[in-house]
Amino acid sequence: MDALERRERARQSVALVGVDAGKFHHAMVARDATGRDSKPLLFTTNREGFEAALHLIRLASNDATPASVLAGIEFAGVYGATFAHFLDALGYPVVSVLGATTKAWGQAVHGSRLKTDAKDATTIVDLVSHGRYTGYPFLKPAYAQLRFLSAGMRRLTLLRAGTINRLRSVLQSVWPEYETVFASFTTKKTPLRFLREYAGPQAFLAAPRREVLHTLRTISVRQHGVETYSALEQAARTTVAVRGTEQALATEIRQLVDLAETLGAQATALEHEMAVAMRELPEATALCTIPYVQTRMAATFLGAVGDVHAYESVNQVMRLAGLNLITRESGILKGTHRISKRGRPEIRHHAYLAALGLVKRDGHFRRQFDRLVQRNGGKKKKALVAISREVLRLMFAVARDRRAFTPDMPTPPEGRTPDDYPRP
């Protein structure tokens, strides 16, 4: 549906509704067929408040059929979602108005940056009447579950990263050489579990060699042995640790290790739930056939985007991810193209991670990456961002068609720029 069709849809409605969503209260204005606006209604986000809002809508529409009314809600994440589902269950068409659009329109109309819920509700009605809205992101249960699981995964990832950073900070005083002995301090279980048993150089040296070796081999399933012990012993004997900190911080080290392992176990459990939820979605299986797109990445994409068939083109998904290109120009100022970053950062993050793998030697986008680096003067980060856009296009095409990835899928031909790449 283009802008003209959206305006026509709004013109044919017997009533328009604008809702400014909040956490505990919503503000609503209803516009009848004559163009007259109701007084702003401030209602609570409970059954009683929803019924009061429904009564106002019926008054403005003169009890017309719900399908002839158009309700616009400013998209604010989880805020307003319950009221949107309430109206949708009753048959009222619900659309979404972007917050940035409301802000710009309100400032242009009212001539001031000052805002109130009542003014915003009126502004939302105006935007709906001009066709400045998009479809409301209703999610089927499977997509909604993936969205909530992905949000939980992001929270656990941030908490674990903070825990590991604190542990590293403590080790800088207690045993700064410890990290250098293990190549994968943050991703492997052995360094953390061994540190729980020997939370400092003095504890390590005080324990019998045979006992320490047995513990090291058991924890690492015989991946580490005498060589690692010798490296740890050398690090413990020559440490530059601050004297007295081991006794003071040993308990905190063990607590941080326990917390990091607990958060890791919770993340593993969430990833298992993601895999179970994706069994209901054929496009999820197809997405996981793309190299470097794993369960967590596919779940994040589907949870953020929802049903890809609800989008008119991949460009809408690009804007949702904040990977759409924008240019700032004014007078003699001629800006360059850059991504907007006005969207869901988790999609950009995972698209970038997939791009890192797909540009490796013999990767699907290796040739394009080399051409981009050569063209832009060796700026690899900029080239990776361009490849991230192509990864998102690839994921959209695979999910939309529900077809497995194959290496012979079309890639950009020689001599094209990133904006000229063929669209799926």
Q: What pLDDT digit, counting tens, does each position of 33-78 carry?
A: 999 999 999 999 999 999 999 999 999 999 999 999 999 998 766 7
Residue 131, φ and ψ in degrees, nearest 5: 75, 15
pLDDT less than 50: residues of the chain: 412-424
Q: How many CB atoms lie within 10 A of CB 248?
A: 12
Same structural domain, 317 and 354: yes
Output the pLDDT for position 313.
Answer: 85
Output the pLDDT for position 387.
Answer: 94
Same structural domain, 70 and 157: no
Supply the range of the domain harboring residue 9. Answer: 3-138
- Please state, in angstroms and rounded to a whole number, the distance separating the CA atoms of residues 192 and 417: 47
Output the pLDDT for position 410.
Answer: 55
Residue 28 contacts residue 41 (beta carbons within 8 Å): yes
The number of folded domains in the chain is 3
Same structural domain, 112 and 239: no
- Please state, in angstroms and rounded to a whole number, the distance separating the CA atoms of residues 298 and 286: 9
- Please state, in angstroms and rounded to a whole number, the distance separating the CA atoms of residues 262 and 36: 58
Query: What are the distances in angstroms from CA 202 to CA 206, 208, 239, 250?
Result: 6, 12, 10, 11
E strands in 277-390: 325-326, 329-330, 333-334, 338-339
30 by DSSP, 3-state: which?
Answer: strand
pTM: 0.75
- Please state, in angstroms and rounded to a whole number, the distance separating the CA atoms of residues 404 and 389: 20
- Please state, in angstroms and rounded to a whole number, the distance separating the CA atoms of residues 97 and 81: 13
Roughly how many angstroms between the first and final C-alpha of the chain, as a whole number? 19
Q: What is the dihedral of CA 240, 243, 244, 250, to 10 degrees?
A: 0
47 by DSSP, 3-state: which?
Answer: helix
Output the pLDDT for position 114.
Answer: 56
Same structural domain, 82 and 122: yes
Residue 184 contacts residue 202 (beta carbons within 8 Å): no
Same structural domain, 192 and 243: yes
User: Tens of pLDDT along 109-119?
Assistant: 766 665 666 78
Output the pLDDT for position 325.
Answer: 85
Residue 212 contacts residue 231 (beta carbons within 8 Å): no
Same structural domain, 113 and 77: yes
Output the pLDDT for position 111.
Answer: 67
Output the pLDDT for position 217.
Answer: 94
Same structural domain, 295 and 372: yes
Output the pLDDT for position 422.
Answer: 36
Output the pLDDT for position 366.
Answer: 92
Output the pLDDT for position 12.
Answer: 92
Angle at which helices 345-358 and 380-401 cross, to 10°? 100
Domain boundary residue, one of 100, 122, 138: 138
Residue type, 36: R
